[in-house]
């Protein structure tokens, strides 16, 4: 097996992924804490004097509830989509590093067909370039691909899952961890806890993939690129 992906670049991607997703996790908690604090803001003034003030109080409480629901749902959806996009981007960077180093490459990433972009990346790494240690049997990969289904449902179909096969995968995670996903009919929504789980498993998956590729260092067949 030729060495097309060297330790320094792989170590950099490992560090960068861990740092970026840790920061995303911290950002999500900051926003969530802000929303929770807004939900507990008391109504202005003394609103207990008469029926008109009681009506104003009720309107204020309704506004607070709408604020919380709207932004909590927006936060979870955007957080999940952001995490999915980041993981996909890092996988593309790994593939691109191989393409750049292997000058006689016959099959490019863009030539691969798959059910999804991340599945195309898996095929490129595992089947085309012999990364036999690609961790597609791991819990992390299962979570990544499940949340990717949820991401597609959110961005393309207002939360509706496209196929029965995809929904079975989503339901399997929801049965195992009901606090990660909300399912109603053929529609799915991530919870905040589910988004944090996605961040963790995405970070662990990229780390495991890059660590598994370390055996490439033992048998280099071409010179690494000049620094």
Q: What is the pLDDT of residue 201?
A: 95
Q: What is the pLDDT of residue 20?
A: 94
Q: Identify the H or E element spanning 181.
A: strand 181-184
Q: Is the Cβ–Cβ distance between 109 and 223 less than 8 Å?
A: no
Q: How far apart are CA 227 and CA 216, in angstroms?
A: 19
3-class DSSP assignment, residue 210: helix
Q: Is the Cβ–Cβ distance between 21 and 83 less than 8 Å?
A: yes
Mean pLDDT, consecutive 10-residue segments, the chain of 227 residues? 59 87 93 75 49 58 64 85 94 83 73 80 80 86 96 93 94 96 94 95 92 58 34
Per-domain boundaries in the chain: 7-218
pTM assigned to the model: 0.79
Residue corresponding to tokens 């929504």:
189
Q: What is the pLDDT of residue 217?
A: 45
Q: What is the pLDDT of residue 110?
A: 79
- Per-residue pLDDT of 84-105, as tens digits, reads 999 999 998 888 887 777 656 7
Angle at 17 between CA 6 and CA 85, to 5 degrees: 115
Q: What is the pLDDT of residue 112?
A: 83
């Amino acid at each position: 097996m030729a060495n097309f992906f060297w330790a320094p670049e792989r170590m950099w991607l490992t560090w960068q992924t861990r740092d970026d997703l840790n920061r995303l996790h911290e950002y999500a908690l900051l926003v969530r804490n802000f929303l929770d604090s807004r939900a507990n803001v008391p109504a202005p003034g003394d609103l207990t004097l008469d029926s008109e003030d009681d009506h104003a109080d009720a309107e204020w409480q309704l506004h607070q509830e709408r604020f919380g629901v709207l932004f909590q749902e927006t936060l979870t959806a955007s957080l999940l989509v952001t995490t999915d996009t980041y993981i996909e981007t890092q996988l593309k960077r790994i593939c691109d590093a191989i393409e750049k180093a292997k000058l006689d490459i016959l099959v490019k990433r863009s030539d691969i067909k798959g059910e999804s972009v991340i599945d195309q990346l898996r095929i490129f790494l595992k089947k085309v370039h012999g990364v036999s240690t690609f961790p597609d049997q791991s819990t992390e990969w299962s979570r990544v691909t499940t949340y990717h289904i949820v991401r597609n449902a959110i961005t393309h179909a207002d939360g509706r899952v496209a196929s029965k096969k995809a929904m079975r995968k989503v339901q399997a995670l929801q049965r195992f961890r009901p606090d990660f996903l909300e399912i109603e009919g053929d529609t799915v929504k991530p919870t905040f806890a589910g988004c944090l789980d996605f961040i963790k498993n995405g970070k662990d998956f990229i780390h495991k993939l890059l660590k598994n590729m370390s055996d490439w260092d033992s048998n280099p067949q071409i010179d690494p690129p000049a620094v």
